[in-house]
Amino acid sequence: MTDALGATTTAMDVVKGRDLTGRRALVTGGYAGLGYETARALASAGAEVVIAGRDAHKLKAAVASLSEATGNPHIHGMLLDLANLASVRQFASDFQARFPKLKYLINNAGVMACPLSRTADGFEMQFGTNHLGHFLLSGLLLPVLKAGQPGRIVFLSSGGHKYSPINFDDLNFEHTEYDKWKAYGQSKTANALCALGFDRRYRDQGIRSFAVHPGVIFTDLARHLTEEDFKAFESKDGKEGQRGKLVIKTVEQGAATSVWAAIAKELRGEGGLYLEDCHAAQQVEEGVQSHGYYEYAMNPRQSDRLWRFSERLVGWKS
Q: Which residues are catalytic?
A: 184
Does 214 bind ligand NAP (CB under 6 A)? Our answer is yes
- Applying CB under 6 A, among 24, 27, 35, 194 the residue interacting with ligand NAP is 35
Residue with Cβ nearer ligand NAP (60 or 308): 60
Q: Which residue is nearest to ligand NAP (CB)?
A: 33
Across the strands, what pairs with 217? 249
33 binding ligand NAP? (CB under 6 A): yes
Least distance between ligand NAP and beta carbon 108 (Å): 5
* Cβ count near 175 (within 10 Å): 8
**Residues near 234 by beta carbon (within 8 Å), at least 6 away in sequence:** 243, 244
Choosing from 9, 20, 24, 31, the residue that interacts with ligand NAP (CB under 6 A) is: 31
Non-local (6+) Cβ contacts of 17 within 8 A are: 1
Nearest distance from residue 205's CB to ligand NAP, in Å? 26
CA 262/CA 25 separation, integer angstroms: 9
69 close to 36: Cβ distance less than 8 angstroms: no
> What is the closest distance, in whole angstroms, from the C-beta atom of residue 292 to ligand NAP in the complex?
14
At its nearest, how many Å lie between ligand NAP and the CB of residue 67?
18
Q: Does 272 bind ligand NAP (CB under 6 A)?
A: no
51 binds ligand NAP (CB under 6 A): no
Q: Nearest distance from residue 14's CB to ligand NAP, in Å?
A: 16
Residue 161 DSSP class: G
Residue in 105, 109, 194, 211 binding ligand NAP, rule: CB under 6 A: 109
Report the C-alpha dihedral over residues 251, 111, 301, 289, rounded to 10 degrees. 50
Let me know: does 190 contact 166? Beta carbons within 8 Å: yes
Does residue 275 touch ligand NAP according to CB under 6 A? no
Closest CB to ligand NAP among residues 46, 160: 160
Partners of residue 247 on adjacent β-strands: 242
Considering only 50-58, 171-179, 193-201, 271-279, which stretch makes contact with ligand NAP by CB under 6 A?
Answer: 50-58
CB nearer ligand NAP, residue 160 or residue 165: 160
Burial 85-110 (b: 16+ CB within 10 A, else e): bebbbebbeebbeebebbbbbbbbbb
Please list every residue from 118 through 157 that binds ligand NAP, using CB under 6 A: 129, 156
Residues 217-236 that bind ligand NAP (CB under 6 A): 217, 219-221
Is residue 314 part of the contact set for ligand NAP (CB under 6 A)? Answer: no
Helix axes 256-263, 33-44, angle to 10 degrees: 50
77 CB-contact burial (10 Å; exposed 0-12 / middle 13-18 / buried 19+)? buried
CB 257 within 8 A of CB 276: yes
Name which of residues 150 to 189 contact ligand NAP (CB under 6 A): 156, 158, 160
Residues that bind ligand NAP (CB under 6 A): 29, 31-35, 53-55, 80-83, 108-112, 129, 156, 158, 160, 213-214, 216-217, 219-221
